[in-house]
Amino acid sequence: MKILRYSFRILLGLVFVFSGFVKGVDPLGTAFRIEDYFVAFSIPWAQPFALGISIFLCMLEFTIGVSLLLNLWIRKTAWLLLLVMTYFTVLTFIDAIWNLVPDCGCFGDAIKLSNIQTFIKNLVLMLFVAPVFMWRKKYRSALPVPLDIGLLLLTALIFTWMSVYSVRHLPFIDFMAWEKGRNVNKAETLPVKFYVTYKNIKTGEKKEYLASNYPWNDSLWMSQWTFDSQRVEDPGAGKTASLMVEDMQGSDVTSSILQNPEYQFLLVIYNLKETNTNAFRRILPFFKKAQADGRPFICITSAMPAEVRKFRLTQGAAFEFYNADDVILKTMVRSNPGLILLKDGKVIDKWAWRDFPEWNEVSGKYFR
């Protein structure tokens, strides 16, 4: 029995530490999934809290894992373990039945599971959680309780700092398809389809369109319908970077970007309305020097042409703007805006807006 108690505790600790870490190192990715749940459960007003909830949940999961691994204060943390697992088992059951959110992200972008697989995984874990909870009084730390609590608080603080740093800059470890060093040229894969659903303001009727086909340029229609949700059909999900880029006239220019054999800069803005305009202005001198050096520099955003035209006029942007789905742009760089250096389809480097480099720094490193 002692061996079972030890084995169950260590197994659960490893799972919780791994799961908490891979999500906490990229809290924005978890926040995006939480926002999807808020939309699915018709509580969009809660979306501003998604990032804070993401950081807290990842920290809680990781700290519980450390408690289990190191046998720290398990008499109390076992209650949190039971509550957390019960809640997420119920949530993933609902997701498995109704598929409200296609990807719950239980292991972030490190490991992809379907909703059914996630629910089964949680059921299996509950077979270990229940005995650990029942045995909670039999686990005895070698340290006094105040020191146990102190170590867990220190763990929570360090983990929270790591998550906040990842939000302000870029994740320490990039599990996404556009990580540095990855070749993202995927001309051989099947096309990705993006769908948007709009809801009639008066009748509540919902209609789904291919993202490129909904009547965004019909002002009367847009005044009667409001955005409701979106979804992606990607035959290569989890394998390659699913990017489709269009110019402002709707022509597909993806291959000219991903197959360009020269160095080129991609300024990624997945949400033009909420982008940091001060950071955007800071990149303008960088663009001018890149242009003078003959280095292509473009901006890819999810905004519609009318919004782009207004933004260019107010911000004085002289470079070309292109359009892509915001879901994919968020996987390219976790920053709004963010900068990527691409060469022959390979991600050479990328920066969050707080870390935008000077031109001399980049040219001295890559072009000489």
Name the region of 232 (left: φ>0; alpha: ψ -120 to 50; beta: rest). Answer: beta
Q: How many helices (H) and strands (E) does the chain have?
A: 12, 8
The four Cα atoms 212, 256, 308, 334 give a dihedral, to 10 degrees, of 90
Residue 354: DSSP 8-state: G
Which range of residues forms the domain containing residue 84?
Answer: 2-168
- Given a cut of 60, is residue 26 above it in pLDDT? yes
Half-sphere exposure of 367 (CA within 13 A, CB side): 17
Q: Which is nearest to 287 in space by CA: 248, 321, 318, 242? A: 318
pLDDT at 239: 44
pTM confidence score = 0.83
102 with 64, same domain: the answer is yes
What CATH number corresponds to the domain at position 333?
Answer: 3.40.30.10
Please give the mean pLDDT across all residues of the chain. Answer: 91
CA angle 302, 355, 259 (to 5 degrees): 50
pLDDT at 269: 97
76 with 131, same domain: the answer is yes
Q: Tens digit of pLDDT for each residue in 224-265? A: 888 887 777 755 554 444 789 999 988 999 999 999 999 999
The β-bridge partners of 183 are: 346
pLDDT band at 218 (very low <50, low <70, confident <90, very high): confident
| Whole-number Å distance between alpha carbons of 59 and 193 | 35
**Cα torsion angle, 356, 359, 361, 366, sign:** positive
Instruction: Please name the helix (run of DSSP H) or strand (run of DSSP E) that holds residue 339, with its range, or none.
Output: strand 338-343
Q: Which is nearest to 336 in space by CA: 363, 356, 309? A: 356
34 with 89, same domain: the answer is yes
Tally of domains in the chain: 3
pLDDT at 192: 67
9 with 100, same domain: the answer is yes
* For residues 74-94, average pLDDT: 96
Residue 153 in tokens: 């608080």
CA 108 centroid distance within chain: 8
Place of tokens 């740093």: 165
pLDDT at 83: 97
142 with 198, same domain: the answer is no
106 with 131, same domain: the answer is yes
| Whole-number Å distance between alpha carbons of 280 and 303 | 15
181 with 201, same domain: the answer is no
11 with 128, same domain: the answer is yes
pLDDT at 108: 83
Q: First-to-last CA distance in the chain?
A: 65
Q: Can you point out the beta strands (E) in 137-252?
A: 193-200, 206-210, 225-233
| Whole-number Å distance between alpha carbons of 299 and 353 | 14
Instruction: Please name the helix (run of DSSP H) or strand (run of DSSP E) that holds residue 341, with its range, or none.
Output: strand 338-343
* For residues 140-153, average pLDDT: 96
* For residues 157-164, average pLDDT: 98
28 with 73, same domain: the answer is yes
Residue 78 in tokens: 């076992």
φ and ψ at residue 246, rounded to 5 degrees: -125, 150
264 with 347, same domain: the answer is yes
pLDDT at 109: 86
What SS3 class is residue 212?
coil
Identify residue 23 by its one-letter amino acid code: K
Of 118-127, 164-173, 203-212, the poorest mean pLDDT is in 203-212
pLDDT band at 188 (very low <50, low <70, confident <90, very high): very low
pLDDT band at 50 (very low <50, low <70, confident <90, very high): very high
Question: What residue spans of 41-73 are helical by DSSP H?
Answer: 50-70
194 or 34, which is more confident: 34
97 with 163, same domain: the answer is yes
158 with 41, same domain: the answer is yes
